Amino acid sequence: MASKQILVVAKDTSKVCDLLHDRPRLGMVIRPAKVLFDRYGNVITKTKGKEPKVEVLTTSSHPQAQHVLKTQDGGIFAIVIDLELVDGIGFGLEKRLPGHHLIMMSEYPNYARMLSGSGRIVTESNNVGRTIERLHQRMLGTITVEPAEYSDVAGVYNVALKSWVDKERVTLEEFYERLMNFPMAIIVAKAEINGHERVLGFLSPIILNIDEVPVGWKMVTQNGTYSNHNPNGDTLICPQVGLDIDFCHLMGITGIPRLLIEFGKRMAKSLGLQMAVYTRSSGYDKAQQKYGCIPIEVYIKTCRAAYETNGNAAYRDVPELTLGMHWSFGGIATPLRVDANATTDKKTGGYCILLSYKI
Determine the topology of domain 144-356 in CATH.
Aminopeptidase (3.40.630)
Segment 188-216 shows an average pLDDT of 91
Determine the topology of domain 5-140 in CATH.
Rossmann fold (3.40.50)
- The contacts of residue 24 (CB under 8 Å, 6+ apart) are none
pLDDT for the residue 138: 58
pLDDT for the residue 114: 46
Each domain of the chain, given as residue ranges in start order, spans 5-140, 144-356
Q: pLDDT tens digit string along 258-317?
A: 999 999 999 999 999 999 999 999 999 999 999 999 999 999 999 999 999 999 999 999
Which of the pair, 252 or 47, is modelled with greater confidence? Answer: 252
pLDDT for the residue 89: 40
Q: State the pLDDT confidence band at 334, using cuts at 50, 70 and 90.
A: very high
For residues 280 and 348, the answer to whether their CB atoms sit within 8 Å is yes
Q: Is the pLDDT of residue 47 over 60?
A: no
User: Where on the phi/psi map is residue 78: left (φ > 0), alpha (ψ -120 to 50), or beta?
Assistant: beta
pLDDT for the residue 350: 93
Four-CA torsion 281, 178, 332, 343, nearest 10 degrees: -30
Q: pLDDT tens digit string along 13-31?
A: 455 544 444 433 333 233 3
pTM greater than 0.85: no
pLDDT for the residue 255: 83
